[in-house]
Amino acid sequence: MADRAALIIAGPTASGKSALALALARRLDGVVINADAMQVYRDLRILTARPTLLDEAAVPHALYGVRPIADPGDVAWWRTAALAAMDEASETGRLPILCGGTGLYFHALAHGLADIPPPDPIARNEARHLLQTLGAPGLHARLLREDPQTALRLKPGDGQRIARAWEVLSATGRGLAAWQAQTQRPLTGWRFAAIRLAPPRPSLAAAIAGRFESMLQAGALAEVAALLDQRLACALPGMRAHGVPELAAHLRGEIDLPHAALRAIAATRRYTKRQATWFAHHQLADPARTHIIHARISDMQQLSESSLDFFVNFIINLKVEAAKTDGS
């Protein structure tokens, strides 16, 4: 069976991934598939900069706003859902376009995941209770005693990952690092083109600040107020999305709105630095089956028709090559 072609568009937050994905989906009859961990939550359209309703009407989109924030998705769920969306797109003659900034998702897609047992509800509740009572550093210290191999990979303040590691250890008697060391099954049957956006830092900083101001004007405060009304656990991944903790603090009367905005912008800028570091040190997909373009685009207006033509021709050639290559 011949390999099928797919496109990856990756890069830091506010780098213009969604606009490029939309433009290429129009030209290439594509389906835009979400590869951002926060954009899966239906409660966070504004603060995660999900595609607009007009964008979603213009070309097919998949895996955007498909989970309630109270029901967090994980990388294993995303990989299964993304592969199904890729298959569906390909079967209907459309090009799958995976768009997002969650590097772990791209890595898992290409390289597979260890066969860790599904979450155990009792172990999950135990982990959440310990995280709430001990705090992230306290639970990390306990994990360090019981499973140092995993704990040493985690930051003491990363409550979500620490709780997940404790959950796995409690449910299986085996540490997360040990599970992850198992042989993984890489993805076959697909060839990728990967466009990694890497705008200059000053341009990206300006884009982040401008986008957050637009979010406030679009109703970000009301979006966070609706979350607070649900009385959700603060440890949920979606409750730590950029802008949510800061605007929640403002709504509780702890800080004024200008300071909340500055904190949210600063947090987003720090995150983009971590994203850039990740993308610089990891492969988006199997190098033997992937062609990569590095694009230092500072503004989507720089995407002239000739630039789009270059990307389009690049991907068309990939599809021709993929059709000639037998899948392994």
> Which CATH number goes with the domain that contains 306?
3.40.50.300
For residue range 248-280, list pLDDT tens digits in order. Answer: 999 999 999 999 999 999 999 999 999 988 888
Residues 274 and 229 in one domain: yes
Q: How confident is the model at residue 219 (pLDDT cuts 50, 70, 90)?
A: very high
Contact 122, 153 (CB under 8 A): no
| Residues 54-104 pLDDT 10s | 999 999 999 999 999 998 888 889 999 999 999 999 999 999 999 999 998
Instruction: Band the pLDDT of 234: cuts 50, 70, 90.
Output: confident
Tokens of 101: 């900034």
Say whether both 109 and 218 belong to one domain: yes
Q: Percent of the chain at pLDDT above 90?
A: 52
Same domain, 126 and 229: no
The pLDDT score that the predictor gives to residue 193 is: 81
Q: What is the pLDDT of residues 26-52, one digit of tens each?
A: 988 999 999 999 999 999 999 999 999
**Whole-number pLDDT of residue 327:** 47
Domain of residue 145: give its range.
Answer: 121-180
Residue 133: which CATH number? Answer: 1.10.20.140
pLDDT at 172: 87
d(CA 327, CA 302) in angstroms, rounded, equals 36
Query: Long-range contact list for 187-190, CB < 8 A, 24+ apart?
Result: 187/83, 187/109, 187/110, 187/111, 187/112, 187/285, 187/286, 188/327, 188/328, 189/1, 189/3, 189/4, 189/327, 189/328, 190/3, 190/4, 190/5, 190/6, 190/86, 190/289, 190/322, 190/327
Residues 210 and 320 in one domain: yes
Instruction: Classify residue 181 by its DSSP letter.
Output: T
Is the pLDDT at 158 greater than 70? The verdict is yes
Task: Please say if the pLDDT value at position 328 is more than 50.
Answer: no
115-131 residue pLDDT tens: 777 777 888 889 888 99
What does the pLDDT look like over 273-295, one tens digit per residue? 999 888 887 777 666 666 666 66
- End-to-end CA, the chain: 9
The single residue listed with the structure tokens 């998702």 is 105
The reported pLDDT for the residue numbered 1 is: 56
**What stretch of H or E contains 313?**
helix 305-324
Contacts of 33 (CB under 8 A, 6+ apart): 61, 62, 63, 82, 85, 86, 89, 96, 97, 98, 99
Total domains present in the chain:
2
A 10 A CB-CB count for 320 gives 10
Pick the residue with more confidence: 281 or 169?
Answer: 169
Q: What is the mean pLDDT of residues 2-19?
A: 88
* Residues 177-218: tens digit of each pLDDT: 888 776 566 777 888 888 888 888 998 999 999 999 999 999
Are 80 and 105 found together in one domain? yes
In a shared domain, residues 80 and 216: yes
Asked if residue 171 and residue 93 are part of one domain, the reply reads no
**142 and 97 share one domain:** no
The yes-or-no verdict on residue 112 having pLDDT over 90 is: no
Strands (E), the chain: 4-10, 30-34, 61-62, 95-100, 190-197, 290-295
Question: Under a CB-based contact definition with an 8 Å cutoff, are residues 268 and 212 in contact?
Answer: yes
Domain C-terminal end among 157, 180, 203: 180
Same-domain check for residues 49 and 88:
yes
Mean pLDDT confidence for 8-28: 91
Does pLDDT of 323 surpass 90?
no
Residue 290, pLDDT score = 64
What's the rounded mean pLDDT across residues 144-172?
89
For residues 137 and 285, state if they share a domain.
no
d(CA 70, CA 104): 21
Give the DSSP H/E element, type plus range, for residue 258.
Answer: helix 257-281
Which residue is associated with the tokens 């797109």? 89
Count CB neighbours of 226 within 10 A.
12
Domain end residue (candidates: 132, 149, 180): 180
Mean of the pLDDT values across residues 164-174? 89
Burial class (CB in 10 A: 0-12, 13-18, 19+), 97: buried
Examine the fold and report which residue of 132, 163, 180 is the final residue of a domain before the chain moves on.
180
Is there a single domain that holds both residue 150 and residue 212?
no
pLDDT reading at 303 higher than 70: no
Side-chain half-sphere exposure of 181, counting CA atoms within 13 A: 7
CB contact set of 261 (below 8 Å; sequence gap of 6+): 212, 213, 216, 246
Read off the pTM. Answer: 0.80
Q: Are residues 168 and 192 in the same domain?
A: no
